[in-house]
Amino acid sequence: MKTSRRAAFTVIELALAMGITTLVGLSVAAATMVISAAREDAEQYQEYVQSARSTSLRIQSALRKASLITSCTPTTLVYWTGDANSNGQINVSELVRISYDHVNKEVREYQVDLGDLNAVAAAILDATVSLATAMDDAAVRELMSTTYKPYLQDRLLSSSVRSVEFSTDKGAPLTGLVRVRLDVGDQAQAIVVQSAVSLRSPATPRVGIVDRVYVLVGTD
């Protein structure tokens, strides 16, 4: 009578099978990590794209409504929103300053907001400034950050900004065109958005020169 012999794996076969299983598992894990990393990179890139475009559109929208570009450097822009109280002059609350913070990689917008005060108090506090002062970015920054610090609105426009460049076709305050270049992202991936915007109703015809100083004609 013949006896049946049960097939058995040798130690070498078991080791080989375990090795193959391990390799397959590692390959699957590596592929999963690659796919996950690619998805995260794609999502991050989309965030950069949305941030750059939304910031560019927001700046364009604001500048179209501006009356004057009073100061422009590669990383800072100051503009007069317009004569909101119809006094024919520039008031502190009518100035907006957009600046690039290279340390934190952010573009921020600053404006004095007296909206929480009653009309009388706001009118008293909202001092007028000369066009020459509005053209001095350091003076505007100092005024906003000291005298009007309790009322200063500091808004984040964009983060992860690698660089910003503002430029104009003419020197402020005679320009009616602003070019904006935003580079948003990191070393691995980034997007550059460039735009140019014209002021719809610039107050440049009101700009004159008195004693070699720019003034708003008939108001300063």
What is the per-residue pLDDT for 6? 53
What tens digit of pLDDT does each residue of 180-199 get?
A: 999 999 888 889 999 999 99
When comparing pLDDT for 178 and 187, which is higher? 178
What is the per-residue pLDDT for 3? 52
The structure's pTM equals: 0.80
What is the per-residue pLDDT for 143? 96
With a pLDDT cut of 70, the percent of the chain lying above it is 89
Asked if omega into 202 is within 30° of 0 (cis), the reply is no
User: Does an H or E element contain 216, and which?
Assistant: strand 213-216
Q: What does the angle CA 159 – CA 92 – CA 166 come to, to the nearest 5 degrees? A: 40
Average pLDDT across the chain, whole number: 88
What tens digit of pLDDT does each residue of 86-121 get?
A: 999 999 999 999 999 999 999 999 999 999 999 999
What is the per-residue pLDDT for 188? 82
What is the per-residue pLDDT for 126? 96
What tens digit of pLDDT does each residue of 3-47 get?
A: 555 555 677 777 777 778 777 777 776 767 666 665 676 677 888
For β-strands 152-158 and 76-80, DSSP reports them as: unpaired
Closest CA to 166 of 81, 69, 85, 84: 69
What residue segments make up the domains of the chain, in order of their start? Answer: 40-216
